[in-house]
C-alpha cells in the first residue's frame, strides 16, 4: 500500500506549493508516505475565457464559483461518484480539531475542495461534497490555507512522518490536554534557568513534572478541555489542589480513568 493521497481542487494551486515543498511534508512526500496532487479547476472550464465564476442569482455583491468546472474537475480525477471523501473547506463546516484530524488520518485518500469569492454554487455542496470542514470561526479569502491546515495536521499523524514515533503523542490536544512547556540548551539564558527536574536525568520525576505542567496549563488556559480529558485519580487530586491554591473553579470532571500513563 502506498502513502495517503490528497487531491486538492483549487483556482490557485500555486498558493499551496511552497508550503508543501519544505521540511517534514516535503520529506514525507519524498518517502512516499503522502502524495499530494494539486488540480487547477480552471483547467476544466470549457468556454474560451476559462470562466470559473459568475454573478449570484438574486443579486448582491461578489462572485460565485460555477458548478460545471468543479464537477468536471473532481469527477475526471476521482470518477463518478468520487472514489474518496470530498471535503469542502467552508466556514459553515464542522470545526476542525485534533479529533477530526485523527478521524481523517484513517482514510487512504481524501479530496479537498477550496472555495474563493462568495463560495461555490450550492449544488456542488449538495451533490458532490461528502464532508464540510471549517478551520475556525472567521472568514478567509479562500479555502487554500484551510486545505493546507488539514493536510498538515493529518499528515503528521501518519506512521513514519514525524522522526520521533511518539512525537505526536504528547502534543496539545492529542491527549485531551495542552502540552507541557519545552526547554532546550543552554541551561541558563539571561539568568533564566531551565527547571532543575529536567536536568536531573530522573525519568519518572520528569514524566510526573510534565504531566502536572500539562494539567496546570490546561486548568489555567483551557479548563473546558478537562471535561473530556482522560484523567487518573492522581490527576484529579492534583487538579483539585491546584485549583484551590489558585482560587480557580474546576469544571465538572469525568470519572477517573485507569489507563496507564504514557511514560517518557
Ligand atoms: N460567503 C461565504 C460564507 O459566508 O459562508 C464565505 C466565502 S469565503 C470569503 C471564500 C472561501 O474561503 C470559502 O468558499 C471557503 O472555501 C474558504 N474559507 C473561508 N473561511 C474559511 C474557514 N474558516 N474554514 C474553511 N474554509 C474557509
- The domains of the chain are located at 4-155, 167-246
Closest atom of ligand 1 to CA, residue 141? 9
φ/ψ of residue 116, rounded to 5: -145, 175
Q: What is the pLDDT of residue 263?
A: 46
Q: Compute the average pLDDT of residues 21-30.
A: 98
Q: Compute the average pLDDT of residues 147-162.
A: 98
Torsion, CA 28, CA 30, CA 36, CA 40, rounded to 10: 140
Q: Which three cell numbers stand for residue 34?
A: 503522502
Distance 120 CA to ligand 1 centre (A): 9
| pTM (predicted TM-score) | 0.94
Test site for ligand 1: of 87, 143, 145, most ligand atoms within 8 A of the Cβ: 143
Alpha-carbon distances of 64 from 30, 48, 51, 52, 124, rounded to whole Å: 37, 19, 11, 8, 12
Element (H, E) at 238: helix 233-246
**Least confident span in 45-49, 93-97, 138-142, 162-166:** 162-166
CATH code for the part of the protein at 167-246: 1.10.1270.20
Same fold, 4-155 and 167-246: no
Question: 43 near 170, Cβ under 8 Å?
Answer: no
Residue list, ligand 1 pocket, CB within 6 Å: 89-92, 114-116, 118-119, 134-136, 138-143, 146
Q: Which CATH number fits domain 4-155: 3.40.1280.10, 3.10.20.90, 1.20.1560.10, 3.30.470.10?
A: 3.40.1280.10
Please list, in sequence order, all residues whose beta carbon lies within 8 angstroms of the beta carbon of residue 217, skipping any fewer than 6 positions away.
177, 178, 179, 180, 181
pLDDT in tens, 207-245: 999 999 999 999 999 999 999 999 999 999 999 999 999
Distance 57 CA to ligand 1 centre (A): 19
Amino acid at each position: 500500500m502506498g502513502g495517503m493521497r490528497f487531491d486538492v481542487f483549487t483556482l490557485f494551486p500555486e498558493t499551496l506549493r511552497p508550503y508543501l515543498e519544505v521540511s517534514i511534508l516535503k520529506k514525507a512526500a519524498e518517502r512516499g508516505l503522502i502524495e499530494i496532487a494539486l488540480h487547477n479547476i480552471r483547467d476544466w472550464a470549457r468556454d474560451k475565457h476559462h470562466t470559473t465564476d459568475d454573478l449570484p442569482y438574486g443579486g448582491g455583491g461578489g462572485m460565485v464559483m460555477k458548478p460545471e468546472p468543479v464537477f468536471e474537475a473532481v469527477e475526471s480525477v476521482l470518477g463518478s461518484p468520487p472514489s474518496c471523501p470530498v471535503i469542502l473547506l467552508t466556514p459553515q463546516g464542522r470545526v476542525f480539531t485534533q479529533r477530526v484530524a485523527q478521524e481523517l488520518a484513517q482514510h487512504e485518500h481524501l479530496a479537498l475542495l477550496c472555495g474563493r469569492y462568495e463560495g461555490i454554487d450550492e449544488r456542488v455542496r449538495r451533490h458532490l461534497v461528502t464532508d464540510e470542514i471549517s478551520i475556525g470561526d472567521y472568514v478567509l479569502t479562500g479555502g487554500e490555507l484551510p486545505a493546507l491546515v488539514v493536510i498538515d495536521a493529518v499528515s503528521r499523524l501518519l506512521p513514519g512522518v514525524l522522526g520521533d514515533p511518539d512525537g505526536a503523542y504528547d502534543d496539545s490536544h492529542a491527549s485531551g490536554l495542552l502540552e507541557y512547556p519545552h526547554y532546550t540548551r543552554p541551561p541558563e539564558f539571561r539568568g533564566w534557568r531551565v527547571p532543575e527536574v529536567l536536568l536531573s536525568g530522573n525519568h519518572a520525576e520528569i514524566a510526573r513534572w510534565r504531566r502536572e505542567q500539562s494539567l496546570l496549563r490546561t486548568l489555567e488556559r483551557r479548563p473546558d478541555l478537562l471535561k473530556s480529558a482522560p484523567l487518573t485519580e492522581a490527576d484529579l487530586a492534583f487538579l483539585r489542589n491546584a485549583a484551590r491554591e489558585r482560587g480557580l473553579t474546576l469544571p465538572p470532571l469525568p470519572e477517573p480513568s485507569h489507563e496507564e500513563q504514557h511514560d517518557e
